[in-house]
């Protein structure tokens, strides 16, 4: 029986999309790449790119990961990645990090690495290369990462603690569930057992020989690729790469690299997993089939066409599932479908479904029935046209942004070629191939594919996971199997696609006018005052050719509402986001926006109301139409309200299962001194929600568009934009200006400790320390706070992570707020072994005290100074940076851009020391620690 199944499956693979024995057409290759293979087998990928200017990125990738560990090496591929930062042949100890930090790079942000089951990569990103010798040094670091990691015994022993704490921090319920799913989906293969982070008993006890064996077996040139992208001469870089890396040698007796495949299963494999800390019930179904393309033919036009066709199937199925999700009677919360490579020579169709407590069986049945409906009757031409239009919009946007790509956008193309032999195409080549294949891909072909692809039973795997709670009933494997086989017996009818060929706005609009026009030299922006009083700010930027952003706001928000009205409406934006706008529900609106790069959505926070959006320049009018409708015709539907309440109720029922929720609630209460207007939402709060009151409050909060400031930024044509803004924004009525109210939501004063326990499957201590107080929001104070947070991060990396092996990483964040009052928060957070908690909390406090007493270490100051300057230079060429600058300027009157360099030049070690003193002087420190129950 199994032999017949395999033969039938192979025949299906040959038939899928008409594959035959004919030679395939090589896909085009982007000529901007310089690709080569050295005599030792190492590949290189080099590309000149202009953004960011004066910088380059350096990567070395190893076509090896956790899959190739032996049993006594489980976790050592990842451990080896850590050792690459603890001593290299030409950079002993931490001298590599010290050098990179001295030229403005930050550990984590610019100096990093990652390990997966199949790939290990090391990276130096956005490195300033104007200084003499930087390129050579970065290439030498990659050279040492290739074959000269020292793995000294002292460093190995010191790093064991860091790895243990990374394991502890990452051992969440979701991670445990994923590990269980891997055992179900990949039985009998290393995919099921090699979790990357590894086995702690091996981490604690492996020998130096164990890790060096892995290193010498697998870190070799013929399994490596160097990738360099940046603002440099490509011929110069190619010569340097050839000369330096061409001398590396492979070992004499090379270990054979095994490709691991997933075997067929005649009967379905079904597993149900329960965990007390999971907060949601979900089920995943996989149907495996032989992959049509492998390394021998992955770089073909036929492979591109295959991916297009599969993408359309996934998109159309997911759209139907999303549409069903909007019905109030639907039991599943979310569902989506995809077709992808599963592992090795197996691809898979997958369906992922999440549902409310005790409704997973019904939700799975509903979602699978939608898949069966598509399998049985196929898709409609109109569905395919929408899928094509949406995909073409992404290709066209990618092409429009072809000259705006940053260095870090490119390494994934090199990796795909290196690992899978996928072609490296330019944006233009990708667009042209999509245009070539789209007319040929018809709905009949896709309907035929899914009939052959989705066959439940053989080669099917079902994995379900959910909360292990007395009041949550999970379906067993027998029930899930009955659901799977049962959908094929249902009486179904074909899907009917609704007509959405309507304009967004049909009513006549009387346009307003620009009544005043000025120029803001400081912001290099145009300012208009419209006839209704609204303020419009336009800043043209050259950074992204296919992007215009909108940030509109006015003050007031929830703060002006009585507490009872706030309690009835606090979840208002979830309802609005789920409801569509005007006469169009969310499903219809999504269909109407097919092929457009556009979104707009209102926002209501404690202190202001606003509306935000992004669009392509060609879709600017559509974005303004959405803005107009959100002011004039918001949609509040009982069905949409019921859906939101149902989802919220399910989430709130389960949130207590996650121990981190107790930590968050405690912090929120202390940081707001138990103000009733800041209390975390509980399930019983949903009973106070009122749809009619939400509609009333929304209309009230958005009744005065003339009081708004609308900031448009990006590739915007002022001449084209003016009449559209006059029409859709200038026509809005109401200009009463308001302000917010101070609700007295300030942190509890004094030195406050809250240590508490919670039941945990993996024991850890979670520490949050927050210093608070009053501080003027000046450029100088902000700069000093920025320095202080970064320097503390360096101190904790050294003292807590490296010296004590006490945490995987400590986060530090310092902010100074404008509203309602000028205040600061300095937050320090980390996870650790409960046995080390008291020691590390003391270290966390002491490092701040040391800076207050003696100032920062000079080397820490210099590292931070270089990184801040490099980051500022890069930020100025990013739209997202200017969005923040303009919002700050027009909401507070403070210029954070033009004062930056002055504040930077004035900030010295004494300024940072003075700030640390001021923070400690105010004697407000909240210390929250969550520990495991004994």
DSSP state of 655: G
pLDDT average, residue stretch 86-94: 96
Looking at residue 22, its pLDDT comes to 53
Looking at residue 24, its pLDDT comes to 87
**Torsion sign, CA atoms 16, 18, 23, 24:** negative
Looking at residue 384, its pLDDT comes to 97
Q: What are all long-range contacts of 257-260, with beta carbons under 8 Å and residues at least 24 apart?
A: 257/63, 257/64, 257/68, 257/218, 257/223, 258/68, 259/344, 259/345, 260/67, 260/189, 260/190, 260/191, 260/343, 260/344
- pTM, rounded to two decimals: 0.94
CA 539 to chain centre: 28
Q: Which residue has the tokens 């896909």?
A: 27
- Secondary structure, 3-state, 883-919: HHHHHHHHHHCCCCCCCHHHHHHHCCHHHHHHHHHHH
d(CA 34, CA 46): 5
- Render pLDDT for 818-846 as a digit per residue (tens, 0 to 9): 999 999 999 999 999 999 999 999 999 99
**Torsion sign, CA atoms 46, 48, 49, 55:** positive
Q: Is the pLDDT of residue 4 over 50?
A: no
Q: Is the pLDDT of residue 43 over 60?
A: yes
Distances (CA, A) of 319 to 72, 373, 664: 46, 14, 35
d(CA 456, CA 626): 43
Looking at residue 6, its pLDDT comes to 38
Looking at residue 5, its pLDDT comes to 39
- Render pLDDT for 852-891 as a digit per residue (tens, 0 to 9): 999 999 999 999 999 999 999 999 999 999 999 999 999 9
Distances (CA, A) of 641 to 566, 574, 605: 17, 9, 19
Going by C-beta distance under 8 Å and a sequence separation of 6 or more, which residues neighbour residue 798?
Answer: none
Q: Across the strands, what pairs with 898?
A: none
3-state secondary structure of 39: coil
d(CA 418, CA 428): 22
Looking at residue 501, its pLDDT comes to 82
Q: Is the pLDDT of residue 16 over 90?
A: no
Q: Is the pLDDT of residue 19 over 70?
A: no
Going by C-beta distance under 8 Å and a sequence separation of 6 or more, which residues neighbour residue 440?
Answer: 305
DSSP state of 535: E
Q: Are 380 and 202 in contact (CB under 8 A)?
A: no
DSSP state of 480: H
Q: Of 524, 408, 398, 520, give the one whose Cα is nearest residue 882.
A: 524
Residue 28 in tokens? 């085009």
Residue 227 in tokens? 């990738």
The enclosing H or E element of 263 equals none
- Render pLDDT for 425-457 as a digit per residue (tens, 0 to 9): 999 999 999 999 999 999 999 999 999 999 999
Residue 62 in tokens? 């190893």
- Render pLDDT for 279-326 as a digit per residue (tens, 0 to 9): 999 999 999 999 999 989 999 999 999 999 999 999 999 999 999 999
Q: Are 876 and 900 in contact (CB under 8 A)?
A: no
Helices (H), 633-741: 638-654, 659-671, 691-701, 718-728
Q: Are 134 and 102 in contact (CB under 8 A)?
A: no
Share of the chain above pLDDT 90, in %: 96
Mean pLDDT value across the chain: 95
- Render pLDDT for 142-160 as a digit per residue (tens, 0 to 9): 999 999 999 999 999 999 9
- Secondary structure, 3-state, 565-618: HHHHHCCHHHHHHHCCECCECHHHHHHHCCCCCEEEEEEECCCEEEEEEEECHH
Strands 460-467 and 120-128: unpaired
Q: Is the pLDDT of residue 226 over 50?
A: yes
The shares of helix, strand and coil residues in the chain, as percent rounded to the nearest 5, are: 45, 20, 35
DSSP state of 408: G
Half-sphere exposure (Cβ direction) of 107: Cα atoms closer than 13 Å: 25
Q: How many residues are present in the chain?
A: 934
Q: Are 583 and 442 in contact (CB under 8 A)?
A: no
Looking at residue 3, its pLDDT comes to 37
Q: Is the pLDDT of residue 193 over 50?
A: yes
Q: Which residue has the tokens 């499903």?
A: 587
Q: Is the pLDDT of residue 351 over 50?
A: yes
Region of residue 54 (phi > 0: left; psi between -120 and 50: alpha; otherwise: beta): left
Q: Across the strands, what pairs with 285?
A: 351, 462
Q: Are 77 and 223 in contact (CB under 8 A)?
A: no
d(CA 369, CA 388): 24
d(CA 870, CA 876): 11
pLDDT average, residue stretch 10-16: 40
Helices (H), 350-467: 360-377, 381-400, 411-420, 427-437, 443-453
Looking at residue 23, its pLDDT comes to 66
Residue 557 in tokens? 């928000």
CB atoms within 10 A of CB 899: 16
Residue 777 in tokens? 């929001």
Looking at residue 934, its pLDDT comes to 84
Q: Are 546 and 715 in contact (CB under 8 A)?
A: yes
**Torsion sign, CA atoms 115, 120, 126, 130:** positive
Looking at residue 500, its pLDDT comes to 79
**Torsion sign, CA atoms 519, 525, 526, 529:** negative
Distances (CA, A) of 612 to 170, 317, 631: 34, 29, 13
Q: What are phi and psi of 353, to 5 degrees?
A: -135, 135
Region of residue 25 (phi > 0: left; psi between -120 and 50: alpha; otherwise: beta): beta
């Amino acid at each position: 029986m199994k032999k017949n199944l395999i033969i039938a499956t192979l025949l299906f693979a040959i038939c899928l999309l008409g594959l035959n024995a004919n030679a395939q057409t090589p896909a085009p290759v982007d000529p901007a790449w310089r690709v080569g293979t050295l005599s030792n087998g190492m590949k290189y990928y080099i590309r000149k790119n202009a953004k960011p200017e004066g910088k380059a990125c350096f990567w070395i990738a190893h076509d090896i990961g956790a899959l190739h560990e032996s049993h006594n090496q489980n976790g050592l591929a990842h451990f080896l990645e850590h050792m690459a930062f603890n001593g290299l042949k030409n950079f002993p100890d931490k001298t590599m990090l010290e050098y990179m930090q001295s030229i403005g790079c930050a550990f984590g942000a610019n100096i990093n690495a990652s390990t997966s089951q199949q790939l290990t990569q090391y990276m130096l990103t956005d490195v300033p290369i104007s200084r003499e010798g930087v390129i050579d040094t970065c290439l030498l670091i990659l050279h040492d990462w290739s074959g000269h990691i020292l793995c000294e015994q002292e460093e190995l022993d010191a790093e064991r603690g860091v790895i243990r704490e990374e394991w502890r921090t990452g051992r969440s319920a979701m991670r445990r569930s994923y590990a269980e799913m891997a055992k179900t989906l990949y039985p009998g293969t290393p995919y099921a057992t090699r979790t990357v982070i590894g086995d702690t008993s091996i981490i604690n006890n492996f020998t130096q020989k164990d890790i060096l064996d892995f290193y010498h077996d697998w870190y070799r040139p013929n399994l490596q690729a160097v990738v360099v992208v940046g603002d440099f001469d490509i011929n110069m870089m190619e010569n340097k790469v050839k000369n330096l890396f061409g001398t590396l040698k492979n070992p004499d007796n090379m270990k054979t690299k095994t490709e691991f495949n997933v075997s067929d299963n005649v009967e379905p494999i079904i597993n149900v997993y329960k965990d007390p800390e999971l907060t949601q019930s979900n089920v995943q179904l996989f149907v495996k089939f032989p992959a049509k393309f492998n390394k021998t033919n992955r770089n073909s036009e036929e492979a591109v066409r295959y991916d297009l066709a599969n993408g359309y199937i996934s998109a159309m199925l997911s759209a139907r599932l999303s549409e069903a999700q909007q019905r109030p009677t639907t039991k599943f919360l979310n569902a989506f479908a995809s077709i992808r490579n599963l592992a090795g020579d197996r691809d898979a169709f997958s369906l992922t479904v999440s549902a409310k407590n005790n409704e997973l069986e019904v939700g799975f049945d509903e979602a699978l029935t939608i898949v069966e409906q598509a399998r049985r009757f196929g898709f409609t031409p109109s569905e395919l046209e929408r899928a094509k239009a949406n995909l073409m919009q992404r290709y066209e946007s990618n092409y429009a942004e072809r000259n705006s790509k940053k260095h870090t956008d490119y390494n994934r193309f090199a990796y795909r070629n290196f690992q899978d032999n996928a072609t490296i195409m330019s944006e233009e080549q990708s667009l042209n191939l999509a245009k070539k294949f789209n007319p040929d891909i018809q709905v009949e072909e896709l309907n035929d594919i899914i009939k052959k692809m989705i066959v439940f039973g053989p080669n099917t795997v079902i994995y379900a996971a959910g909360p292990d709670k007395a009041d949550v009933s999970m379906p067993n494997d027998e029930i899930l199997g009955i659901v799977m086989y049962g959908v094929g017996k249902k009486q179904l009818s074909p899907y009917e696609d609704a007509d959405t060929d309507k304009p967004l706005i049909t009513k006549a609009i009387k346009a307003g006018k620009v009544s005043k026009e000025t120029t803001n030299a400081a912001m290099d922006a145009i300012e208009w005052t419209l006839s209704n009083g609204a303020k419009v700010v336009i800043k043209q930027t050259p950074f992204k050719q296919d992007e215009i952003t909108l940030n509109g706001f006015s003050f007031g928000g929830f703060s002006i509402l009585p507490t009872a009205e706030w309690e009835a409406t606090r979840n208002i934006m979830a309802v609005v986001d789920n409801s569509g706008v005007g006469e169009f529900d969310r499903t219809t609106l999504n269909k109407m926006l097919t092929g457009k790069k556009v979104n707009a959505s209102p926002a209501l926070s404690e202190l202001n109301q606003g509306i935000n959006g992004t669009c392509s320049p060609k879709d600017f009018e559509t974005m303004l139409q959405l803005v107009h409708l959100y002011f004039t015709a918001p949609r509040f539907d009982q069905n949409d309200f019921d859906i939101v309440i149902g989802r919220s109720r399910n989430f709130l029922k389960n949130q207590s299962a996650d121990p981190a929720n107790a930590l968050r609630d405690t912090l929120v209460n202390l940081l707001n001194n138990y103000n009733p207007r800041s209390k975390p939402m509980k399930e019983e709060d949903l009973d106070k929600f009122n749809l009619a009151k939400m509609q009333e409050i929304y209309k009230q909060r958005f009744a005065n568009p003339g009081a708004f400031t609308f900031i448009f930024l990006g590739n915007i044509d002022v001449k084209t934009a003016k009449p559209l803004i006059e029409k859709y924004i200038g026509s809005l009525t109401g200009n009463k200006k308001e302000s917010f109210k101070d609700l007295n939501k300030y942190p509890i004063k004094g030195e406050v400790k809250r240590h508490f326990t919670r039941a945990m499957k993996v024991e850890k201590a979670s520490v949050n320390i927050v210093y608070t107080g009053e501080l003027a929001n000046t450029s100088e104070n902000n700069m000093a706070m920025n320095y202080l947070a970064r320097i503390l991060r360096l101190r904790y990396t050294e003292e807590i992570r490296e010296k004590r092996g006490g945490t995987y990483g400590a986060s530090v964040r310092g902010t100074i707020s404008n509203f309602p009052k000028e205040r600061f928060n300095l937050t320090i957070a980390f996870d650790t072994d409960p046995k080390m908690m008291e020691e590390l909390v003391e270290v966390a406090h002491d490092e701040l005290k040391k800076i207050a007493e003696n100032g920062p270490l000079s080397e820490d100051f210099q590292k931070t100074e270089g990184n801040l300057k490099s980051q500022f230079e890069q930020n100025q060429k990013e739209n997202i940076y200017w969005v923040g600058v303009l919002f700050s300027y027009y909401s507070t009157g403070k210029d954070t851009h033009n004062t930056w360099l002055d504040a930077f030049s004035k900030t010295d070690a004494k300024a940072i020391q003075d700030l640390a003193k001021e923070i400690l002087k105010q004697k407000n420190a909240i210390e929250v620690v969550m520990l495991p129950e004994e």
